[in-house]
Amino acid sequence: MVSTPLETPLSTQPPPDFETVQETQVPIPDPAPTRKKRSHANKNPDEPQEKPNQINWSREEQMALARAWLEVTEDPLVANYQRETKYWSQIREIFHRIMNKGEYRMQDSINSKFRKLRLQISKFHAIYTHWTNRHVSGVTEADIQSNALAEYKADMGAPFNYMEE
């Protein structure tokens, strides 16, 4: 009699050519503990850290910074084709010359303030250019300026304060 697959006894053990390997889970390590901030080598950790005196920028200073930037970038011989450190050192030098108070603003302070200033000026410039390019008959320069100022205030929620009166 020929045996059929149904008639063969089922065994619970694997055939001899297989190895059984027990599965293991890799343990998940605990999250790394938070690191403390590095202390500076030249500072005593017991001493309280002093923040430099921060002087708020006046409108006069902001206008002087914008004028210094214009003076450096509109220089026909050099313009803004110069290394960043030289570029900003010239802006800082001209800013202090305009303010006539000696050197009281650090380079980082000037760079940071100008970044904020540039965003506002660029936004106003885009709005002003839009109004100028409309070429509406009978519209004066004062009308364009007034419309641009109103649109800037509506968009930004604050007036544009960097125009000389």
Please write the tens of the pLDDT for every residue from 110-161: 999 999 999 998 999 999 999 999 988 999 999 999 999 999 999 999 999 8
Q: Quote the pLDDT of residue 136.
A: 87
Tokens 């940071």 belong to 112
- Rounded to two decimals, what is the model's pTM? 0.59
Q: Quote the pLDDT of residue 142.
A: 94
**The pLDDT of residue 20 is above 90:** no
Average pLDDT, the chain: 81
Contacts of 4 (CB under 8 A, 6+ apart): none
The more confidently predicted of residues 102 and 24 is 102
**The pLDDT of residue 99 is above 80:** yes
